[in-house]
Amino acid sequence: MSRLSRKIKEYNEKLSEEKAQPLTACVKTFGCQMNEHDSEKIKGMLINMGYDIVPDYSVTGSGSIPDVIVFNTCCVRENAEDKIFGQLGAVKGAKRLKPELIVVVLGCMTEQEWVVERIKKSYRHVDLVLGTGNTYRLPEYMAARIFEGRRVIGAESEDSVPEGVPMLRDDKFKAYVTVMYGCDNFCSYCIVPYVRGRERSRKADDIIDEVKALVQSGAKEVMLLGQNVNSYGKGKSGDGTDFASLIRRVARETGIARVRFMTSHPKDLSPELIRAIAEEPAICAQLHLPVQSGSTSELKRMNRKYTREKYLDLVSEVRKMIPDVTLSTDIMIGFPGETEEEFADTLSLLEEVRFDAAFTFIYSKRQGTPAASWTDQVPAEIVNERFARLVETQNRISREKNEALEGKALSVLVEGPSRTDPSRLTGRTEGNKVVNFDVDAAVLNERGLNKPEAGDIVPVKITRAETWSLEGVYYGKNAEDP
């Protein structure tokens, strides 16, 4: 624990004794897996400073107002930003009721100058604003606020690769592990390179050590995270290990049962990585490969640096080497200048590839990106109509892909009771598909087997397909033969 965290903890312990109640902190997370994982680190730092983590907060005083509220923000879409400003505004009332409340804003949004200016002027109840590169310095800024009463807004961010940051993991059996930070690709619609900085990689040995420690504490699956993991190890921060070698090392040296990764840029997906997925049993046969558009002309305007044909070649190469691969993608609709022909190309690519799942987004204009200044924005009614057609097409394909799994036995990592029916269990396949399943108690009894528990990896026979999930039954060790 750092010296400053210890100092804050001692101070908070005294305060908590006087109040005869624990000091609490709430972290609200917006956005992607990178942010979810950053929030695990923020919670770890807050625990070291003596706060109990609570899942939610009240702004009216009817429930309890915590001592710290942290907003870990996202700026990939305009509606996420609007929602965050709305929640920030609502916290003003809580601060009036509890003036000692510390309000912290950090994450991608705060890397934009206009956001910092707006918070400075219009959200004066916010105490601390940090960027994505200096989140790990939270104890320093908390100390400035607690011991010096200072408001620190817009602290300078850094292109850092922090190690040894404490974490409160949300899940014991599945864990995120960041392998690299930042992005150098500058797709013309995307704000990420401006707010997450240039690409920089962690040392392979540090990653291996982290996964080994996770396995020791019970983890069964890790997801290696980076904005573009295929660039791992490139550039001056790398230690000479490329991503294919890193993931092989994770699969072979750590004892982890399952490893997967996110996200992979199609222009950089190497044959070595495809081979590693095909050959290493611990690497899940699953690939998220964002295509964004099926039209070469639109891809060019997006600055994606591959063509439709190149993407299709890549998919057939992947399927040749990993026949049972589960493929997913991201698709954007309504990119500036998108014509009906370009949209038709995207629809036909969906039909040709037949992804298991596609995450579909409507283009959102992001200040500071090249595409934001283009004048040929697509009218909202056309975008909405295309979006509906896209979703309808993909939903049909996803269901058909799931139906093809009916009758098969799939290996499932059990997550616990199903949220909608606690008498059933839920888990995920190697392809990251959700399976809700029953346990045949009579058969288990007969075979002297126990009911599976969270963290077990068990065979489940798929009995029915839904669009976004599967239904199944666990019979025992050999699900093919109930």
Cβ atoms of 393 and 382 within 8 Å: the answer is no
Q: Which stretch binds ligand SF4 (CB under 6 A): 83-91, 141-149, 185-193, 397-405?
A: 185-193
* Contact flag: residue 186 with ligand SF4 (CB under 6 A): yes
Contact with ligand SF4 (CB under 6 A): which of 27, 179, 192, 458? 192
3-class DSSP string for the chain: CCHHHHHHHHHHHHHHHHHCCCCEEEEEECCCHHHHHHHHHHHHHHHHCCCEECCCCCCCCCCCCCCEEEEEECCCCHHHHHHHHHHHHHHHHHHHHCCCCEEEEEEHHHHCHHHHHHHHHHCCCCCEECCCCCHHHHHHHHHHHHHHCCCECCCCCCCCCCCCCCCCCCCCCEEEEECEECCCCCCCCCCHHHHHCCCEECCHHHHHHHHHHHHHCCCCEEEEECCCHHHCCCCCCCCCCCHHHHHHHHHHHCCCCEEEEECCCHHHCCHHHHHHHHHCCCECCEEECCCECCCHHHHHHCCCCCCHHHHHHHHHHHHHHCCCCEEEEEEEECCCCCCHHHHHHHHHHHHHHCCCEEEEEECCCCCCCHHHHCCCCCCHHHHHHHHHHHHHHHHHHHHHHHHCCCCCEEEEEEEEECCCCCCCEEEEECCCCEEEEEECHHHHHHHCCCCCCCCCEEEEEEEEECCCEEEEEECCCCCCCC
Q: Which is nearer to ligand SF4, 57 or 176 (CB)?
A: 176
* Contact flag: residue 299 with ligand SF4 (CB under 6 A): no
Q: Which stretch binds ligand SF4 (CB under 6 A): 129-137, 182-190, 348-356, 358-366?
A: 182-190
The minimum distance between CB 229 and ligand SF4, in angstroms, equals 11
The minimum distance between CB 119 and ligand SF4, in angstroms, equals 24
Helix 113-122 to helix 78-97 angle, to the nearest 10 degrees?
A: 30
Contact with ligand SF4 (CB under 6 A): which of 190, 277, 409, 410? 190
Write out the binding residues for ligand SF4, residues 371-400 only, by CB under 6 A: none
The minimum distance between CB 76 and ligand SF4, in angstroms, equals 8
CA distance 152 to 232: 33
* Contact flag: residue 193 with ligand SF4 (CB under 6 A): yes
The minimum distance between CB 473 and ligand SF4, in angstroms, equals 39
Q: Which stretch binds ligand SF4 (CB under 6 A): 127-135, 178-186, 248-256, 436-444?
A: 178-186
* Contact flag: residue 187 with ligand SF4 (CB under 6 A): yes
* Contact flag: residue 110 with ligand SF4 (CB under 6 A): no
Q: Which is nearer to ligand SF4, 110 or 230 (CB)?
A: 230
* Contact flag: residue 185 with ligand SF4 (CB under 6 A): yes
* Contact flag: residue 331 with ligand SF4 (CB under 6 A): no
* Contact flag: residue 188 with ligand SF4 (CB under 6 A): no
* Contact flag: residue 260 with ligand SF4 (CB under 6 A): no
Q: Which is nearer to ligand SF4, 25 or 187 (CB)?
A: 187
* Contact flag: residue 77 with ligand SF4 (CB under 6 A): no
Q: Which is nearer to ligand SF4, 139 or 266 (CB)?
A: 266
Q: Which is nearer to ligand SF4, 307 or 469 (CB)?
A: 307
* Contact flag: residue 183 with ligand SF4 (CB under 6 A): yes
Write out the binding residues for ligand SF4, residues 23-52 only, by CB under 6 A: none
The minimum distance between CB 192 and ligand SF4, in angstroms, equals 4
CA distance 211 to 220: 10
Question: What amino acid occupies position 70?
Answer: V
Q: Which stretch binds ligand SF4 (CB under 6 A): 157-165, 186-194, 359-367, 424-432?
A: 186-194
* Contact flag: residue 227 with ligand SF4 (CB under 6 A): yes
* Contact flag: residue 228 with ligand SF4 (CB under 6 A): yes
The minimum distance between CB 263 and ligand SF4, in angstroms, equals 7
Q: Which is nearer to ligand SF4, 50 or 266 (CB)?
A: 266
Q: Which is nearer to ligand SF4, 162 or 370 (CB)?
A: 370
What is the contact surface with ligand SF4 in residues (CB under 6 A)? 183, 185-187, 190, 192-193, 227-228, 265
